[in-house]
Structure 1
Amino acid sequence: MSSSRTCTIKHHMPFVPCKNNVIYSIPLSCGKVCVGQTVRCLNIRLHEHHSSLKGVLFSHLSAHCAACGCTPEFCRTTTVYGRTDSRIREIAEAFAICKNGDTCVSAPSIALLDCELTYLKKT
């Protein structure tokens, strides 16, 4: 499960309630989403995404926003799934990205085979 214990970091501007070990979905103003996963506090990851919009386009999110002209709605970010086991979290992230199809601007941390995706869709 995700950890929602009190965060020890004093965030200058938290976007969402602090959680660790989660798969998250950031809605974009164009109707698409950015799905990712983090072991750290979700607000740290969201601030990294926020910072990436101002500099070199090194992430799928920043590249999409620059090309599309849309903006991420960080305060509306949702937690899709929470697990402390990194392998389970990466599988869940890849599955969430696949389920979103063309509406997702992200690339998974790991690749799933078609037979694995079929199995996950059945469960």
Structure 2
Amino acid sequence: HNRLREHYLSLRSNVGGHLPLQCRNCSCSPILANTNIISRYKEKLVREIYGAFIIQGLGERCVSQPSVALLQKEISFLKRYRSSYRLALRSSLAISTCL
């Protein structure tokens, strides 16, 4: 939850990243208490790549800007990987619930 705390603190200062700028420009405020953490990765690059992938998938429903730019080939690869990972996860969950 360190990132959420950092986002909250950035809203109270004059410096910060994209979130405070977005909130000032549109006179909105984030609902950080309702934030869902969708993944946890220790490596910064992995977090940035996955974040960029999710942001791209949300399109205009997301006000965030990715930290890294992904090529269309990379996005396609991640979509295939995520689909196969979900299928494997469902299979393992189905097996464990049948035991």
Aligned partner letter, 1:120: L
1:79 match: secondary structure: coil
Aligned partner letter, 1:58: G
Structure 1 stretches of 5 or more lacking a match? 1-41
- Bigger RCO of structures 1 and 2 (CA < 8 A, at least 6 apart): 1
In the TM superposition, structure 1's runs of 4+ consecutive aligned residues that sit over 3 Å from their partners are: none
Structure 2 stretches of 5 or more lacking a match? 82-99
Partner Cα separation in structure 1 for residue 53 and residue 6 of structure 2: 23
- Residues 1:92 and 1:68: Cα distance change in structure 2 (over 3 Å): same
Aligned residues: 81
Partner Cα separation in structure 2 for residue 111 and residue 93 of structure 1: 10
- The residue number in structure 2 matching 1:114 is 72
User: Which of 10, 13, 17 is equivalent to 1:55?
Assistant: 13
Q: What is the CA-CA distance between 1:57 and the residue it aligns to?
A: 4.7
In our comparison, the structure showing a higher alpha carbon Rg is 2
Answer 1 or 2: which has greater strand percent.
1
Do residues 99 (structure 1) and 65 (structure 2) align?
Answer: no
Partner Cα separation in structure 2 for residue 87 and residue 69 of structure 1: 31
Matched residues, percent identical?
Answer: 38
Answer 1 or 2: which has greater helix percent.
2
Partner Cα separation in structure 2 for residue 45 and residue 86 of structure 1: 12
Aligned partner letter, 1:67: N
Partner Cα separation in structure 2 for residue 49 and residue 109 of structure 1: 15
